[in-house]
Amino acid sequence: MRTMLTGASVFCGNGFVSADVVTDEGRIVAIGPDIKEKAEKVIHCDNFFVIPGLIDVHVHFREPGAEYKETIQTGALAAAAGGYSAVLPMPNLTPSPYDLDGLRPQLAAIEKLGSSIGAHSRVIPYGRITDGKKVADLEALAPYVCAFSDDGVGVQDGALMEEAMRRAKALGKLIVAHSEDTNYAPEDPRSEYMQIVRDLDLAQKTGASYHVCHVSSAESIRLIREAKKQGIDVTFETAPHYLVFSNENLPDDGRFKMNPPIRTAADREALLEAAADGTLDMIATDHAPHSAEEKSKGFKGSLNGILGLEAAFPVMYTSLVEGGVIPVDRLVQLMSTNPAKRFGLPGGELKEGGAADLAVVDLEDVFTIDPSGWKSKGRSTPFEGMKVSGRVIMTMTEGNIVYER
Ligand code: DOR
């Protein structure tokens, strides 16, 4: 259906301009002031802002295997409510996608989404890098997956990582590493950066495209910054919680329990600096729901993982943009444009001929984060109670409204 969004300020790459946006058959067909063309549906967006649909390259949707925590359906609904037009669920599932048999149940659940909830955000799964002992069937998985990751655990065996990088490169796919050396406690930043040291070498040696998940330590950033200067094909993400919190005086509450852990003020400062100076490539939530019971056992006893999808945009807009760390165009780059480019996904920018993947946000609306009404099955989030601005009003994927407040 030919649809026009009118009255909004529209993101045009380096700022906002007053413009109408017309979508048809999944594409943006016109952007400009006072478009005269007729549309079957006109959506008035006065005082709102239109940005490219957000893209989260790191979520956990628990289906198949732990549907009591989240399903692909509840995860997709949470994504849409958060302004995300595309999400990439990690493969720490049961069965796990080491091969096509392991991937099929997830593909079937994604396939079913349209008939159960109608239009929905894009959900594109990961395949695994290894099963712990050997490299997964990357060649069979490649046509169906966004990239390869063992997220949840690090690849401990360097020889396996090297073989995986060579094979992923031949397939034109990214290796997306949960970097964690189990010789160190997670609280020790070496647990994160020792594998980054190893994998940067392997990426240089193999020419693979290498992306590092949820970077949390200053030393990891220093290493990646240097590697980029040397021309190694590396990118990295961090998550909103590492940009907002540091580990002095964290409450004894499962809401702050995740892996990697929130680190020191100096680590957080290094992440903010990387956001501001262009080193950071993207922000991904690591949305990782667990049951209320599993998160009720204090900091020590609760499972690792917190919710991000329905909080990330307002939290990041408030703390980074209103907080004066980065301008809004850099936030759009981190949450949409860069993920689209690096993972080869539709969207990431608003342009004629491009995918009609967009979010309408109210940057003036000030509210308090309250997970009680969220679409996700989980409730545990460190952002609960934060006063924020930047409310998601509508999300569109491929020209379909997937969320409307
Ligand atoms: O906190 C985390 N939760 N970190 C991970 O790496 C995995 C995730 C999960 O699956 O719960």
Q: The CATH number of the domain where 76 resides is what?
A: 3.20.20.140
- Cα gap 400→405, rounded to integer Å: 14
Q: Residue 380: CB within 6 Å of ligand 1?
A: no
Q: Residue 291: CB within 6 Å of ligand 1?
A: no
Residue 343: the pLDDT is 98
Ligand 1 atom at minimal distance to the Cα of residue 303: 11
Token duo for residue 48: 């709102």
Reference 90, options 137, 132, 145; nearest CA is 145
Residue 261 DSSP label: P
235: in domain: yes
261: in domain: yes
Measured in residues, the chain has a length of: 405
Q: What is the pTM of this model?
A: 0.98
What average pLDDT values come out for the chain (405 residues) when binned by 10 residues? 96 92 97 89 97 99 98 98 98 98 98 97 98 97 98 98 98 98 98 98 98 98 98 99 97 98 98 98 99 98 98 98 98 98 98 98 98 98 98 98 97
Domain boundaries, position 150: 53-348
Quick check: is 286 catalytic?
Answer: yes
Ligand 1 atom at minimal distance to the Cα of residue 60: 10
The CA distances from residue 374 to 76, 81, 309, 377, in Å, are 12, 8, 10, 8
Residue 51: the pLDDT is 98
Q: How many CB atoms lie within 10 A of CB 269?
A: 12
Give the distance (Å) from ligand 1 centre to CA of residue 305: 5
Q: Residue 356: CB within 6 Å of ligand 1?
A: no
Give the distance (Å) from ligand 1 centre to CA of residue 139: 26
Considering Cα of 83, then 87, then 90, then 93, what sign does the dihedral take? positive
405: in domain: no
Ligand 1 atom at minimal distance to the Cα of residue 289: 11
3 state DSSP class of 86: strand
- Cα gap 42→380, rounded to integer Å: 37
153: in domain: yes
255: in domain: yes
Token duo for residue 212: 């590092």
395: in domain: no
95: in domain: yes
Q: Tell which one of 151, 155, 187, 303 to mutate to probe ligand 1, the residue whose CB is within 8 A of the most ligand atoms.
A: 151
Number of domains in the chain: 1
- Cα gap 160→149, rounded to integer Å: 13
Do the beta carbons of residue 127 and residue 91 sit within 8 Å? yes
Place of tokens 């981190």: 334
118: in domain: yes
